[in-house]
Structures are given as structure tokens and as C-alpha cells.
């Protein structure tokens, strides 16, 4: 497969989980990869984020596929760090054709137990971080005058309310408003903007959420299983990467403003 030959993808949260699956899937299709991650923990969520070793592993695996890869350590909440990461990408890889806003956190608490600090970090990572990546990547796409593809990973939590996740839901619903508005702004330039809405995905985020909520992972997984209509407990990061691969391909060139559910039928309930 070479359908993304010559393209460069800028992926946030690329050190592990879905971000790594996106990096490897797009690299297999021929793209070069700018892989960004924070590589340190934050005061919130109450579980560990990815490490530098995780990011190096992603970059090593992309290079093993014969593609160019750039490791970028940055916090998506920081305008200065994202602007610098975009500049470094253009310097090293020449262009940006694909943006995948994926870096995110989760945690669980009832609305009235969420602290101001938790609320702010949740919204800053999961919503402001998406806006900042778009803010600095879109001008580059416009300057290239060759269209572009932007994907923002929301969640089923961006389509419905979920107990214990009001701050997460608020951010993930916000992503939909951001994506729909941006989609209108950039459409005439041949840039598409779509959101993906996964059900529970088997990544460190699920383990972390269970840990944060103080419940066994099996209990959380059983709850998530009940939400799925199709017979699956947790879907795989690769399921999301497969959806993203279609959205960035020529085959989806006239698909924009779509909320693509990869939810095992959950939203039919």
C-alpha cells in the first residue's frame, strides 16, 4: 500500500495506544510521521501518561517500516510548545498533510466532586489542546494549497451524557463543535475535518480510569461491555486507526463534518 506516499501526518498523543496505532497505520500506507507526546505525568488524571521510552518506541517502529519519523515532546495545552513542534515538523519533514488530534486524558468523578483543577486540566488537554494543534497546523495546510485532512478523536462521550464523566463529556462534545465549525471554515480549501467517536478501546486509558475510580478494571470493562450492542468488551486501537486511514484517504475526499462512530452499536441504544 502506498496511497499516502509523500504525505506527512502530525499526530498528538502518539507515544502509545490509539496514537501509536495511527502512526503505524499511516506509516504502513506510506506517510511520514511527526509523533508528539507529553512524555511526563500531569497532576491529573490520577494515572500515568506516556514516557519518553514509549514515544521512542513509536518512532522506532515507524522507522522500521521505512518511513521518516520525528519525536516531539510537547504539552498540547501550551501554545508555545505546539507552535514550536509544528515549526520543527516543517523544518524536518517539509510539510503537514494530515493532523490527528488524539492526545487525551480521562478520569471519573461525579460532577460535584470534580475539583476546579481537575476541570481545567480536563478541558485544557481534551479541548484546548485540539484547538491549538489546529490553530498552528491549518495555516501550514493553507500555505501548501494542496488540501488536507484533520481528524479529531472525540468519543461516544461526545454524543451522549455519561455518569462520572461530565467534564470528559463536556470536552468531547466541545470537540464536535470545534470540528464542525473548522470544517466549514476550511472546506473551500479542500481540507476535511471529521471526528471519530470510539466506544471503550483497550488502551492504558481504560486501566487508568479504573484505577482513578478505585474499581477493578474487570468491573469497568463489564460496564462498558453492557453498552456495546455488538459482542465485544473493548475494541482495539487498530479499529480506530482503520477508520482514520479511510478518512485521510482519497476515497473519503468528499467526507467532511462527519461524526464517525466506531462504537459497536452503542449509540443505537
Ligand X SMILES: NC(=O)c1ccc[n+]([C@@H]2O[C@H](COP(=O)([O-])OP(=O)(O)OC[C@H]3O[C@@H](n4cnc5c(N)ncnc54)[C@H](O)[C@@H]3O)[C@@H](O)[C@H]2O)c1
Q: Which residue of the set 44, 130, 168, 254 is catalytic?
A: 168
Exposure class string for 80-114: b at 16+ Cβ within 10 A, else e: ebbeebbeebbeebebbbbbbbbbbbbbbbeeeeb
Q: From residue 96, how far is each of 87, 111, 146, 191, 220 by CA, in Å?
A: 10, 39, 10, 12, 38
CA distance 163 to 140: 39
In the complex, least distance from residue 198 CB atom to ligand X, rounded to whole angstroms: 4
In the complex, least distance from residue 28 CB atom to ligand X, rounded to whole angstroms: 18
Q: Supply 209's cell numbers.
A: 480510569
Task: Output 18 or 25, the one with its CB closest to ligand X.
Answer: 18
Task: Output 50 or 150, the one with its CB closest to ligand X.
Answer: 50
Helix axes 217-227, 204-213, angle to 10 degrees: 110
Task: Please compute, for residue 43, the number of CA atoms within 13 A of its CA located in the half-sphere on the CB side.
Answer: 8
Task: Output 77 or 167, the one with its CB closest to ligand X.
Answer: 77
In the complex, least distance from residue 189 CB atom to ligand X, rounded to whole angstroms: 26
Q: Single out the residue of 175, 139, 132, 145 nearest to residue 12, CA to CA.
A: 132
In the complex, least distance from residue 13 CB atom to ligand X, rounded to whole angstroms: 3
Give the ranges where 65-100 is alpha helix by DSSP (H): 79-93
Binding site for ligand X (CB under 6 A): 12-13, 15-19, 37-38, 49-50, 75-77, 102-106, 125, 129, 153, 155, 198, 200-201, 203-206
In degrees, to the nearest 5, what angle opens at C-alpha 258 toward C-alphas 256 and 260?
Answer: 135
Active site residue 130: no
Task: Output 19 or 148, the one with its CB closest to ligand X.
Answer: 19
Residues forming the active site:
168
Amino acid at each position: 500500500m502506498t496511497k499516502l506516499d509523500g504525505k506527512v501526518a502530525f499526530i498528538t498523543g502518539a507515544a502509545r495506544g490509539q496514537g501509536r496505532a495511527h502512526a503505524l497505520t499511516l506509516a504502513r500506507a506510506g506517510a511520514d510521521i511527526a509523533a508528539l507526546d507529553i512524555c511526563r505525568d500531569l497532576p491529573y488524571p490520577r494515572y500515568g501518561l506516556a514516557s519518553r521510552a514509549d514515544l521512542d518506541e513509536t518512532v522506532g517502529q515507524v522507522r522500521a517500516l521505512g518511513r521518516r519519523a520525528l519525536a516531539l515532546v510537547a504539552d498540547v495545552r501550551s501554545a508555545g510548545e505546539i507552535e514550536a513542534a509544528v515549526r520543527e515538523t516543517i523544518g524536518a519533514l517539509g510539510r503537514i498533510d494530515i493532523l490527528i488530534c488524539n492526545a487525551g486524558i480521562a478520569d471519573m468523578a461525579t460532577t460535584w466532586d470534580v475539583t476546579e483543577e481537575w476541570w481545567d486540566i480536563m478541558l485544557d488537554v481534551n479541548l484546548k489542546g485540539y484547538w491549538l494543534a489546529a490553530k498552528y497546523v491549518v495555516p501550514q495546510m493553507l500555505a501548501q494549497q494542496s488540501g488536507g485532512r484533520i481528524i479529531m478523536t472525540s468519543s461516544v462521550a461526545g454524543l451522549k451524557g455519561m455518569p462520572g464523566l461530565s467534564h470528559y463529556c463536556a470536552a468531547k462534545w466541545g470537540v464536535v463543535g470545534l470540528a464542525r465549525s473548522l470544517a466549514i471554515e476550511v472546506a473551500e480549501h479542500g481540507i476535511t475535518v471529521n471526528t471519530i467517536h470510539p466506544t471503550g478501546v483497550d488502551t492504558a486509558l481504560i486501566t487508568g480510569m479504573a484505577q482513578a475510580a478505585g474499581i477493578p478494571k474487570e468491573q469497568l470493562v463489564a460496564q462498558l461491555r453492557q453498552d456495546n450492542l455488538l459482542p465485544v468488551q473493548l475494541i482495539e486501537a487498530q479499529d480506530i486507526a482503520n477508520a482514520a486511514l479511510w478518512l485521510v484517504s482519497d476515497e473519503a475526499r468528499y467526507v467532511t463534518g462527519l461524526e464517525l462512530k466506531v462504537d459497536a452499536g452503542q449509540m443505537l441504544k
